A and B are shown apart, each in its own frame.
Chain A
Amino acid sequence: MNLLMPETQVETRNAKLETDLKEIAQDIVRRAMAGGATAAECVVREGDEFSTVVRLGQVETLKESGSKAVGVRVFYGKHAASTYSSDFSPKGLDRLVKSALELAKITSEDPYAGIPEASQLGSIAGDLDLYHPDVYSLPGQERISYARRAEKAALDYDPRIKNSEGGSFDAATGHKVLANSHGFVGEYRRSYCSMAAVPIAQSDNGAMQRDFWFSVARNLSRLESPEHVGKTAAQRTLRRLGARKVKTAQVPIVFDPLVAASILEHIFEGVNGDSVYRGASFLAGKLGQKIAADNVNVIDDGTMPGGFGTSPFDGEGIPTRRTVVIENGVLKSYILNTYTAKKLGLQTTANASRGLAGTPGIGPGNYFLQPGTKTPQEIIAGIPNGLYVTEFLGHGVNLVTGDYSRGASGLWISGGELAYPVEEITVAGNLKDVFFNISEIGSDLEFRGAVASPTIRIDGLTVGGE
Chain B
Amino acid sequence: MVSKDKDKFFFQHYGLTEGDVERYLGAALSAGGDYADLYFEYLSSTSLMVDESMVKSASQGISAGCGVRVISGERTGYAYTDDLSPERILHAARTAALIASGPAKTPSVGFQEKPARSLYPVTLPSVDAEITAKVELVMRADKAARAYDPRIKEVRAGYADELRNILVIGSDGTWAEDIQPLARMNVSCIAKTDGNSARGTGGGGGRVALDFFFGDKSPEYFADEAARQAILQLDAREAPAGEMEVVLGPGWPGVLLHEAVGHGLEADFNRKQTSAFAGLIGKRVASEKCTVIDNGTMPWRRGSLNVDDEGNATQQTVLIENGILKGYLSDKLSARLMGMANTGNGRRESYEHIPMPRMTNTYMLAGQDDPQDILRSVKRGIYAVNFGGGQVDITNGKFVFSASEAYMIEDGQVTAPIKGATLIGNGPDVLTRVSMVGNDLKLDEGVGTCGKDGQSVPVGVGIPTIKIDRLTVGGTAKRDVGGFMQ
Question: From residue 13 to 64 of chain A, which have CB atoms closer than 8 A to chain B?
Answer: 13-14, 16, 55, 58-64
Q: Are A279 and B474 in contact (CB under 8 A)?
A: no
- Which of B153, B388, B474 touches A426 (beta carbons < 8 Å)? B474
- State whether A462 touches B273 (Cβ < 8 A): no
- Is A208 a contact of B64 with CB atoms below 8 Å? no
Q: Contact mask A216-230 → B, CB, 8 Å, 1/0? A: 000000000000000
Q: Which residues of A contact B198 (CB under 8 A)?
A: 400-401
Is the pair A8, B15 in contact by a Cβ cutoff of 8 Å?
A: yes
Evaluate contact between A2 and B128: CB separation under 8 angstroms.
yes
Query: Could you tell me if B60 and A83 are in contact, using CB atoms closer than 8 angstroms?
Result: yes
Smallest CB-CB A-B distances: 10 pairs: A426-B474, A407-B400, A394-B400, A396-B402, A108-B54, A210-B395, A396-B422, A84-B61, A464-B241, A464-B474
Chain A residues with Cβ below 8 Å from B156 are 278
Contact partner, A106, options B64, B99, B131, B472, Cβ 8 Å: B131
Q: Are B391 and A393 in contact (CB under 8 A)?
A: yes
* B51 proximity list for chain A (CB < 8 A): 278
Among B70-78, B113-121, B370-378, the one that faces the other chain is B70-78
- In this assembly, does B199 line the interface, its C-beta being within 8 Å of a C-beta of chain A? yes
Contact size class for B?
A: 35 or more
Does A125 sit at the interface, judged by CB under 8 A? no
- B193: interface (CB < 8 Å): no
The contact sample of 5 A-B pairs, CB cut-off 8 A, is A65-B81, A248-B242, A358-B47, A401-B233, A426-B400
Q: A99 in the interface, Cβ–Cβ < 8 Å? A: yes
Q: Determine if A110 is an interface residue (Cβ-Cβ < 8 Å).
A: yes
- B283: which A residues are within 8 A, CB to CB? none
**B63 and A86 form a contact (CB under 8 A):** yes
Tell me the chain B residues, 262-286 only, with Cβ under 8 Å from chain A. Answer: 272-274, 276
B79 contacts the other chain (Cβ, under 8 Å)?
yes
B352: interface (CB < 8 Å): yes
Cross-interface CB contact of B424 among A8, A60, A207, A425, cutoff 8 Å: A425
18 further interface pairs, Cβ-Cβ under 8 Å (given A398-B419, A405-B474): A1-B128, A6-B64, A14-B85, A67-B65, A82-B59, A83-B61, A84-B59, A107-B55, A107-B58, A279-B192, A280-B190, A357-B61, A394-B400, A394-B401, A403-B420, A405-B239, A405-B421, A426-B241
Q: Report A-chain residues with C-beta under 8 Å of the C-beta of B401.
A: 394
Which residue of chain B is the closest to A4 with respect to CB atoms? B62
Tell me how far the C-beta of A151 lies from the nearest C-beta in chain B, rounded to whole angstroms.
13
Contact B95 A106 (CB under 8 A): no
**B14 near A6 (CB under 8 angstroms)?**
yes
Choose from A99, A165, A393 the contact partner of B274 (Cβ within 8 Å). A165
Tell me, yes or no, whether A209 is within 8 Å of chain B by CB.
yes
| Segment from A184-192, A308-316, A427-435 that makes contact with B | A427-435
> Is residue A137 contacting chain B, with contact meaning CB distance below 8 A?
no
What's the least CB distance linking B148 to chain A, in Å?
A: 17
- B367 adjacent to chain A (CB < 8 Å): no
A84 to B62, CA, bound (A): 6
**CB nearest to A356 among chain B residues:** B61
Least CB distance, B154 to chain A, in whole angstroms: 5
Q: How far is the CB of B432 from chain A (nearest CB, A)?
A: 15
Q: Which residues of B contact A426 (CB under 8 A)?
A: 241, 400, 421-422, 424, 472-474
The answer to whether B65 touches A60 (Cβ under 8 A) is: no
Whether A103 sits at the interface, judged by CB under 8 Å, is: yes
Chain B, residue nearest A403 (CB): B419
Complex contact B74–A424 (CB within 8 A): no
Contact residue among A356, A407, A428 (Cβ-Cβ distance under 8 Å from B391): A407
Closest to B44 in A: A4
B135: interface (CB < 8 Å)? yes
Is the beta-carbon distance between A81 and B58 smaller than 8 angstroms? yes
Instruction: Give CA–CA (A60, B272) in the complex, Å.
Output: 11
Q: How far is the CA of A406 from the CA of B475 in the complex (A)?
A: 9
- Report chain B residues within 8 Å CB of A4: 44, 60-62
Contacts of B194 in A (CB 8 A): none
A9 touches B85 (CB 8 A): yes
When C-beta atoms are compared, the residue in chain B nearest to A461 turns out to be B476
Determine if A243 is an interface residue (Cβ-Cβ < 8 Å): yes
Query: In chain A, what residue has the closest Cβ to B404?
Result: A398
What residues of chain A lie closer than 8 Å to B424, measured between beta carbons?
Answer: 393-394, 407, 424-426, 464
When C-beta atoms are compared, the residue in chain B nearest to A96 turns out to be: B62
From residue B20, how far is it (CB to closest CB) to chain A in Å? 12
Residues in chain B near residue A103, CB distance under 8 A = 58-60, 131
Cα-based distance from A350 to B422 in the complex (angstroms):
35
A9 adjacent to B14 (CB under 8 Å): yes
Q: Which of A6, A55, A250, A393 contacts B393 (CB 8 A)?
A: A393
Please tell me if A7 contacts chain B, counting CB pairs below 8 Å.
yes
B469 at interface by CB-CB < 8 Å: no
**Given A82-B59, A83-B59, A107-B55, A207 and B78 contact (CB-CB distance below 8 Å):** no
Q: Is the CB of B57 within 8 A of A359?
A: yes
CB distance from B63 to the nearest CB of A (A): 6
Shortest C-beta distance, B93 to chain A (Å), equals 12
> In the bound complex, do residue A163 and residue B273 qualify as a contact, i.e. CB atoms below 8 Å apart?
yes
* Minimum Cβ distance to chain A for residue B18 (Å): 16
Count of A residues near B, CB < 8 Å?
Answer: 89
Task: Specify which of A7, A59, A106, A426 lies most central, judged by the most chain B CB atoms within 10 Å of its CB.
Answer: A426
Does A68 make an interface contact (CB < 8 A)?
yes
Is the CB of A384 closer than 8 A to any CB of chain B? no
What 1/0 flags go to B121-142 for Cβ under 8 Å of A? 0000001100110010000000
Cβ–Cβ contact A140 & B98, under 8 A: yes
Cβ contact within 8 Å between B80 and A65: yes
Say whether A9 contacts B15, CB under 8 Å.
yes
Bound-complex Cα distance A288 to B323 (A):
57
Whether A464 pairs with B62 at a CB distance below 8 angstroms is: no
> Complex: how many Å from CA A358 to CA B92?
30
Residues of B within 8 A of A425 (CB): 424, 472, 474
In the assembled complex, which residues on chain B have CB atoms less than 8 Å from the CB atom of A400?
A: 190, 197-199
Pick from A61, A140, A394 the residue with the most CB of B within 10 Å.
Answer: A394
Determine whether B87 belongs to the interface, using a CB cutoff of 8 Å to chain A.
yes
Question: Do B56 and A200 touch (CB < 8 A)?
Answer: no
| CB-defined contacts of B49 to chain A, threshold 8 Å | 358
The listed residue (B77, B92, B242, B419) touching A401 by CB distance below 8 A is: B419
Name A395's contact: one of B389, B419, B421 (CB within 8 Å). B389
Among B13, B398, B479, B486, the residue within 8 A (CB) of A5 is: B13
Other-chain residue from B190, B272, B399, B472 in contact with A464 (beta carbon distance below 8 A): B472
Asked whether A13 lies within 8 Å of B85 as measured between CB atoms, the reply is: yes
Bound CA span A82–B81, Å: 24
Of the candidates B59, B274, B399, which one forms a contact with A357 in the assembled complex, judged by CB atoms under 8 Å apart?
A: B59
A140 CA to B57 CA, complexed, in Å? 44
Contact A8 B391 (CB under 8 A): no
State whether the Cβ of A124 lies closer than 8 Å to any Cβ in chain B. no
Q: Give per-residue flags for A80-118: 1 if the beta carbon is below 8 A from chain B beta carbons, else 0.
A: 111111110000000000011001101111100100000
Contact between chains at B54 and A110 (CB < 8 Å): yes
Q: What CA separation (Å) do A429 and B398 show in the bound complex? A: 21
**Contact present for B58 and A106 (CB under 8 Å):** yes
Query: Is A138 part of the binding interface, using a Cβ–Cβ cutoff of 8 Å?
Result: no
Q: Which of A69-85 contact B (CB under 8 A)?
A: 69, 71, 80-85
Contact with A along B381-413 (1 / 0, CB 8 A): 000000011111101101111100000000000
Chain A residues whose CB sits within 8 angstroms of the CB of B172 once the complex forms: none
| Bound form: Cα–Cα A71–B401 in Å | 36
Interface assignment of A204: CB less than 8 Å from any CB of chain B: no
Q: Given A248-B479, A428-B241, is A82 in contact with B421 using a C-beta cutoff of 8 Å?
A: no
* A377→B274 CA distance, assembly (Å): 32
A465 within 8 A of B: yes
A466 contacts chain B at the CB level, 8 A cutoff: yes
Q: Are A59 and B473 in contact (CB under 8 A)?
A: no
- Within the complex, the shortest CB–CB distance from A192 to chain B, in Å, comes to 15
Most buried by A among B77, B79, B389, B398: B398
Q: How far is the CA of A92 from the CA of B352 in the complex (A)?
A: 21
Residues from chain A with a CB closer than 8 A to the CB of B15 are: 8-9
Complex Cα gap A464–B241 (Å): 5
